[in-house]
Each structure stands twice: as structure tokens, then as C-alpha cells.
A = this chain, B = another copy of it.
């Protein structure tokens, strides 16, 4: 830690804790509340997702992003346009090769770092950020292997810096309203949840190297944006590659890592057809990519068992034509909610026995206080992506830094969600055998209390 950093931290400690609400939150104090000084945030990875985070963060007057890092000149240029639009001075840029982020972390005095790079960089960069004394907000998934997940936990525990996974769907208006319903006991005791990532990504995995979506069947060096690196995962790996959007929200409902935990899973994959078919359909059988062998089964079904008995079914379905759906279903001893038919049934509440009713009145009634508080603020929520949930995830990251508390989605959540991918790969490779989850909390899940979205703070 350099001298500048130490001085800055001493300065911050001088700020007074000013909010009674904050003191009521069951958070571990990591520092002190910051009233006057601006938070200094770095962004590593200024692709489309990183640009989005920059845009959201720069809307806040208490945030500055004095430094960014990427190795793609085009993406850096696009990021600078975001600064221009926000009428902010351009940042310092680290762009000298894949390891230049290490220079950024060592040299810069920052409160926190957002990591929005290709997946395989998430864990190494997040660990390095914490080791350099910075809190980190890392895009999904946080780690790709069990070892990477353990590395994140160790780094956070040793450094005292937090690692928040930026799992935005936890804040989606409907699922966080359903979380309210769960907490108020509407479903009784939870039994079974479903989630997943059912999203036709063929137009993301392939493009023409010029624009991100549609047109072309290129990937890797010839691809643009995510096609540059994401698609290779479909070549090399067979498993649930992207579990967090589906499992994040149900983790909060099931109190995972806080009274409950994932115990084991099985995964089963279908045959591999969609990506090859797409290449051939679009560019003919003679295109070089028509000979690429993809390993990823088109649909991967994962079933998780929880310590408290519940089951979670996840579907990963990204290679086939289909409407988008995160496959949510939340079921307990009194009833259930199902997103795909926008319906709910609660025994003793729903007017007709055995009959669905529309979920909309329930979603309105149980609208989360966070949404109630901020949904009226047009400047905050307009154009903030994914129906506003990105606003909340970035806000939670920044507010946790500002208040000096653990974030509402912490390193244990980051790894219990992310480790599903490597466990899923292992299960499939072994004929769908049952694979045990590591207990990343080392027993603390038994006594930890829920921390996510307990009120309208973050």
C-alpha cells in the first residue's frame, strides 16, 4: 500500500457517521461513513458492460472515476465518449497489455474497483484489487474454478476488503418483490425454486467483427465485443456457464450462506447442435467456423440440494432460438409464483382453489421499498439498463463503499453462485454424478444473518 493511499484512508476516517439508519443495518463496519469526499473508483474493462457501469456511476456527484483500464482501443474510445456525455474530465488510461491492470492497482489511490472484463480475468483481477487495498465489484461470474472461488474468499478475509458480485437480477423489480413475499411468509416455508439463463445468445456469440449483435458467424480474434472471448467458452466447456442471473435471486430468498447453503448438485446436458447449425445456416457448410467442435450442450439442467432441504432447478439454454426467460419459479408450502405465465397461487388467499391468478397485483402490493423510493426519480432510472436493476446494483456497490460496510451481496454469495459452473462441468463430465459444494463460509452459514435488501438503503 503506498503512502498516498494511507493518507487518504486517514482522511476518510475523520468523516463522521451521520445516519441512524446505517447504524441499524446488520453490516460489518469496514471503514467509516464518508460525507464530503468523493469516492474514487477505477474501472477495469471498458467494453460495453464497463461503459454502462461508468455511465451509471458518473451520474452521481459523489463519484469520480479517475482511471480506467482496457487493451482495446475502440472500447477505450467508446468509454471516453461516456465521459464526454457526462461532462467529466477524461481519466488516466492503463492500456499497455493484459497485465497493466496490476500497475493501475499498485499505483492508484482508489476506494474501489469495478471489474468488467472477460470472464477468465474476473477472479485474478478481483483478488489483485483486494490485495492492493481496494474494494471490488466484479461482474458475473466471479470465478471459473473452485480454486478461483477459494482465492476470492481468502483474499477478502485476509485483506478485509469486500468482493461484491454485480448480480443485477437480484434487484429486478419482480424478483425483489417476490423476495418480500417470501420474507413475509406468503409462500409458507420454501420448498423449491427455479431459475436459469434461457437466452438465445447466437447473435452475441457470433457477429461480423464490426458490431456486437446479429450478422456474421465470426468469433475469437475476428469477433467483436463478447464474441471475441465469450464464445470460446462454448468450445471448451460443457456445463452451466452462466448460473448467477438465475440463482442469485433465489439465493437471497433461500438465505443461502445465511442459515442455509447449497449442498450438492447434478447437471445434465443435451447434445450440441445450435451453434454449428447457426454457422451453417448463416454462412454455409464451407465457412471455416463450420468445422469448429463445440462442447457446450445446448441445454444444461442443474438441480441443487440445499442444507435446509429445498431444491433449486437451473436451466442454461443459450444456443437455440427461444424467447428470453430466466425461468423463475418460487414455491413453498402455501403456494407458488411462476414467471413464465405471470401467475401466482396462494392457498387461502387466492380466490379459487387450484387456480392461478395474475401476479401483477401481488407484485404491486409487495413492491420493494428500494423501488418505491427510487422509481419516481426519472434521472436516476431512465436509460439505466435492464429495467433499472443495473442502477441498484451499482448503487449498492457505491453505497457500501461510502458507508464503510459490507455489501448486500458479499464474497460468499459471489462464490456460492459462481462455483455452480465448475461443479456443473464436473457433474456432466462424470455422467451427471452428484457433486458436493465446498462450504466457503467454513460453517459460518449456520449463524450468519441475511444482509440483502433489508430496507430501502441498498
Contact = CB atoms under 8 A, between A and B. Distances in A.
B340 A322 contact: no
Contacts of A126: none
Interface in A375-400: none
A373 interface: no
B313 A301 contact: yes
A367 to B, nearest CB: 23
A269 to B, nearest CB: 7
Given A299-B311, A311-B269, A321-B345, A333 B274 contact: yes
Contacts of A347: 321
A354 B200 contact: yes
A277 interface: yes
A103 B272 CA distance: 55
A103 B51 CA distance: 81
A273 B333 contact: yes
A11 interface: no
Contacts of A313: 301, 313
Contacts of A304: 268
22 contacts: A191-B271, A191-B299, A191-B320, A264-B432, A266-B266, A266-B268, A266-B303, A266-B432, A268-B311, A269-B311, A270-B310, A271-B308, A274-B333, A298-B333, A301-B303, A320-B333, A321-B345, A322-B336, A322-B354, A324-B354, A340-B340, A433-B433
Count class of interface residues, chain A: 35 or more
A341 interface: yes
A332 to B, nearest CB: 8
Given A433-B434, A434-B433, A311 B270 contact: yes
Contacts of A321: 333-335, 345-347, 353-354
Given A268-B303, A313-B301, A273 B434 contact: no
A270 B191 contact: yes
Given A191-B299, A321-B333, A322-B345, 15 more contacts: A264-B431, A266-B303, A266-B432, A268-B303, A270-B310, A270-B311, A274-B333, A299-B311, A303-B432, A320-B332, A321-B347, A322-B331, A322-B335, A433-B433, A433-B434
A315 to B, nearest CB: 8
Interface string A310-353: 11010001001111100000011111101011010111000001
Interface of A: 188-189, 191-192, 200, 264, 266, 268-274, 277, 297-299, 301, 303-305, 308-311, 313, 317, 320-324, 331-336, 338, 340-341, 343, 345-347, 353-356, 430-434
Contacts of A355: 323
Contacts of A322: 331, 335-336, 345, 354
A190 B155 CA distance: 45
A189 B271 CA distance: 10
